[in-house]
Amino acid sequence: MKQIEPAVFFPAAILAVAGVAFAVLAGDQAEAVFTTIRDVITQYAGWVYSVGVGAFLTGAFVVALSDWGRIRLGPQDSEPEYGFLPWFAMLFSAGMGIGLMFFAVAEPLTHYLNAPHAEPETLEAAQQSMVLTFFHWGVHAWAVYAIVGLSLAYFAFRHGLPLTIRSALYPLIGERIYGPLGHIVDVLAILGTLFGVATSLGYGVTQINAGLNTLFGVAIAVEIQVGLIAVITLIATGSVLAGLDAGIRRLSVFNLSLATALLVFVLIAGPTLFLISAYVQNIGEYISSLASLTFNVDAYGDGGWISDWTLFYWGWWISWSPFVGMFIARISRGRTIREFILGTLLGPALFTFAWMTIYGNSALRLALSDAAAPLVELVRAEETPLALFAFLDTLPFASITSVAAIILVTTFFVTSSDSGSLVKATLATGGSLNPPVWQRLSWALLEGLVAGVLLVAGGLAALQSATIAAALPFTLVIILAFIGLVRAWSMETKRRAGAKTAVQLPVEGVAVPWRVRLKLMFANPRADEVSAWMSETAGPAFADVAKEMTLNGLSAQVETIEDGVQLTVSHETGPDFVYGVMLKTYPGEGDDPEQSRAEVYLSDGGRHYDVFGYTQVQLIRDVLRHYERHRQWMHHLSLG
C-alpha cells in the first residue's frame, strides 16, 4: 500500500495552509476579490454552467438506456461490493444529506417571499417555489456527480488506472496523466474537497447551534460553534479509525434510517393527503418544466436571479463533484453502468423530492394560512439555521424531533468529513483504495482546523466564493472526461463486434475422445490436481504459443500469478491480449467438500467456463479462438 504521493500531498498541504492564511489575513478584501471573480464568471460565462449541466443530464440518461449500460464497473464477472441499501445510504449522505436539513424549509419559503416570475406570497408563488426547489436539488446535481463518478470508476475498476481525478483524462492525454498535469489536477481536487467540506462544516454548525439554542437556550456564539466543530471532528476521527465498512457505511445507514423516520413523522403529523397530492403534482410540474428551466439563462432580463440562485447551485455542485464523484466511484465497484447512473440519478432525487415536499409544502401551507408568522419572519430575515427548528415547533413532540434533527445534522457532517478525508487520502496516495489511517486522520483533523480558524477569523464566505468560481474550469474537465468515456465505450463496442465476427476455431482435438472429455466434465478434481494441471499442461501450452508469437514479431510472455497462469501478448498499435486460467473453488454438493475448476479469464474479466482436463493442443486452440477475436477487434479499431 502506497503511503504517499509526494508530488500531490505536499503541494496540496502547502496550498491549503496558504489559502487559509490569505482568507484570514486579507479578510474582507479576500472575500471581495473572490466574490468579484465569481460574479464575473457567472455573468459572462454562466451559460457554460447551464449548457454543461444540461448536457451531463442528457448524456447520463442516454448512456444508461443504451447498450453501454450493460458494461460493468470492473471485470465483467464482478459483483457489487455493497448491497443497494448501504450503497444508496453512503452516496446520499456524502452527496447532499446535510443540505436538505439546512434548506428544506428555508428555500421554498424564500422563493415564496421573493418569487421571480409570480406575485410574491400568493398561491402561484408557492407552486413555483416548489418547482424551483426541485430544479436546484434534483437530477441536475446528481448528473454532475454521476458523470464524474462514472469516469473514475470505469477507468479505475475496468482498466486498472489509479482511482484519481487524473485518470478521467487518460483517453485524451494518455500516459501524461502521471506527469505534472495529472499532479495539478489531483492537487486542485484535494483543495476543492478540503475547502468545500470545511466551509460546509463551518456553516452547518450554525444550524446545530441554532437547535441547541431553541431547545436548551445555548447561546449562539462563535465559541460554541468552534467547540461543536471540535466535537464533530473528534467523532469523525473515530469513524475514520473504524474504517469504511464499520464507519461510513454504518453511519450512512443510520442517517438514512433516522431521516426516513423524521420524514414519516412530519408526513403523518402534518396534512398527509395534501402532501401526498403535492408530491405527485410537484414532480409532474418539475418534469414539464425541465427543458425550459435547464436552458433558461435569462438572456432577455438582467440575469440577477439566475446568477444568485441557479448558477450559484450549478457552480456549487460542480465544485463538489471531485469529492462526491470520487466517493461514489469508490463504493460502486461491480455495478453496471445502467445501475450506477439510474441509481445515482433517480434514487436520491426521489427521496430529495419527498423530503422537500413534506417539509417545504408543510411550511408553505402554514405561510399561506398565516399560521406560522414567526417562521416566515425568520426566513424573511435570512435566519436560515433557525428555520427548521421553528417549523418543527409547529408540530407535536417538537422537543423530540428537534433533538433528532440535531443528531441527524451532526451525523451527516461526520459522514461528509469522513468520506471527504477518504477522498483526499486516496488522491494523496496516488489512488490507493485503502489509504493509510494516518493520512485519513490528518485530513480529517485539517478539515476541522480549517473550519474552526475561518469561523473565528472570518474567511468562510471568501473560500466558498473561490470554490464556486473554480467550477468553471472544472466544467471543461468534466466535458473532456465524458468525451474520453465515449471513446472508451466505443472501443468496448468494437471488442464485442470483433468477438461476433471472428472465425470460430474448434476446440475439441482428436487426442482425447469425446467420451473421455465427457467423463472429465463430471470429474471433481481437488485444488492440488487443478494446480498440477496448470503447471504440467497450461504453462507449457502458453509457452509454446508465446514462442510462436515471438517468431512472428510479437512480444509475448507467460507468468505465474496467484492461483493461476497467464499469457500476455503485447501489440504496439493496439490493446494487449490476455488469456489466463485461474483456480476457482466453490462449495461442493453432497459428500464433496468443494468444487475446483480451472476457469478462463481475459483482459476484461472471467469467462466462467472450466478448461481442466484440456490437452495442450485443445488449450492452445481455445487460446487462438480468443486471440482471433482480439485481432478482429483491433481491426475494427483501426477502421475508426
CA distances (Å), 413 to each of 86, 242, 528, 598, in order? 17, 16, 51, 48
Q: Please give the residue that has the higher pLDDT: either 422 or 60.
A: 60
Clarify whether residues 489 and 525 are in a common domain: no
Q: What's the confidence (pLDDT) of residue 500?
A: 55
Paired residues of 565 in beta bridges:
560, 581
Compute CA distances 298 → 49, 305, 599, whole Å.
Answer: 13, 9, 60
DSSP string covering 410-448: HHHHHHHHHHHHHHHHHHHTTS-SS--HHHHHHHHHHHH
Q: Are residues 544 and 464 in the same domain?
A: no
422 assigned to some structural domain: yes
pLDDT digits (tens, 9 = 90+) for 215-246: 888 998 888 988 998 888 888 888 877 776 76
Looking at residue 559, its pLDDT comes to: 93
- Cβ neighbours, 10 Å, residue 46: 22
Lowest mean pLDDT of 71-80, 309-318, 458-467, 577-586, name the range. 458-467
Split at pLDDT 50, 70, 90, the class of 505 is: very low
Q: Are the beta carbons of 178 and 433 closer than 8 angstroms? A: no
Picking from 87, 86, 165, the residue whose alpha carbon sits closest to that of residue 325 is 165
Does 64 share its domain with 196? yes
Are 477 and 588 contained in the same domain? Answer: no
What is the pLDDT at residue 261? 95
Please give the grid coordinates belonging to residue 504.
Answer: 470460430
Sign for the pseudo-dihedral over CA of 469, 473, 474, 478: positive
Between the two ends of the chain, the Cα-to-Cα distance in Å is 39
Total of domains in the chain: 2
Q: Could you give the angle at the alpha carbon of 546 between the alpha carbons of 540 and 548, nearest 5°? A: 105
Residue 328 grid coordinates: 461514489
Give the pLDDT of residue 394: 92
Kindly indicate the confidence band of residue 578, based on its pLDDT and cuts at 50, 70 and 90: very high
Q: Which of 455, 472, 494 is the last residue of a domain?
A: 494
Confidence band of 473 (pLDDT split at 50, 70, 90)? confident
Quickly tell me which residue has 454504518 as its cell: 250
Which of 494, 525, 557 terminates a domain? The answer is: 494
Cβ atoms of 495 and 604 within 8 Å: the answer is yes
* C-alpha–C-alpha distance, residues 243 and 344, integer Å: 23
Q: Is the pLDDT of residue 1 over 70?
A: no
- Overall average pLDDT of the 545-549 stretch: 93
Contact between 150 and 335 under an 8 Å Cβ cutoff? The reply is no
Q: Is 342 left (phi over 0), alpha (psi -120 to 50) or beta?
A: alpha
523 and 436 housed in the same domain: no
Q: Which of 283-287, 394-398, 493-497, 600-604 has the lowest mean pLDDT?
A: 493-497
Q: Are residues 412 and 519 in the same domain?
A: no
Same domain, 50 and 173: yes
Please say whether the beta carbons of 375 and 367 come within 8 A: yes
Q: What is the CATH number of the domain that holds 387?
A: 1.20.1740
Do 176 and 160 fall into the same domain? yes
CA distance 472 to 288: 28
Looking from the CA of 624 toward its CB, the CA atoms found within 13 Å total 17
| Residue-wise burial string across 155-169, b where 16 or more C-beta atoms lie within 10 A, e elsewhere | bbbbeebbbbbbbbb
Residues 136 and 95 in one domain: yes
Pairwise CA distance, residues 427 & 188, whole Å = 10
- From its phi and psi, is residue 162 left (phi > 0), alpha (psi between -120 and 50) or beta? beta
Sorting pLDDT into bands at 50, 70 and 90, what band is 503?
A: very low
Any domain includes 188? yes
* pTM of the full structure: 0.82
Residues 6+ apart with CB under 8 A from 47: 297
The phi, psi pair for 578, rounded to 5°, reads -125, 130
Last residue of a domain, one of 466, 494, 522: 494
Smallest Cα–Cα separation from 386: which of 102, 96, 100, 99? 102
Determine, yes or no, domain membership for 1: no
- The mean predicted confidence, pLDDT, of the chain is 86
Q: Are residues 545 and 473 in the same domain?
A: no
Query: What is the C-alpha separation between 515 and 506, in angstroms, rounded?
Result: 17
Phi, psi (5° rounding) for residue 337?
A: -60, -40
In a domain, 313, yes or no: yes
Q: Which domain holds residue 170?
A: 6-494
| Residue 64 within a domain | yes
| Statement: residue 41 has pLDDT above 70 | yes
Same structural domain, 451 and 540? no
Is 604 found in the same domain as 516? yes
Confidence of residue 247 (pLDDT cuts 50, 70, 90): confident
pLDDT of residue 68 exceeding 70, the answer is yes
Look at 257-261, 401-405, 444-448, 624-628 and tell me which has the smallest mean pLDDT: 444-448
What are the pLDDT digits (tens) for 107-123? 999 999 998 888 999 99
* Whole-angstrom distance, CA of residue 452 vs CA of residue 233: 10
Q: Is residue 541 part of a domain?
A: yes
E strands along 331-412, which residues?
A: none
pLDDT at 97: 67
**What is residue 517's predicted lDDT score, i.e. its pLDDT?**
66
Query: Does the residue 165 lie in any domain?
Result: yes
Mean pLDDT within 304-319 = 86
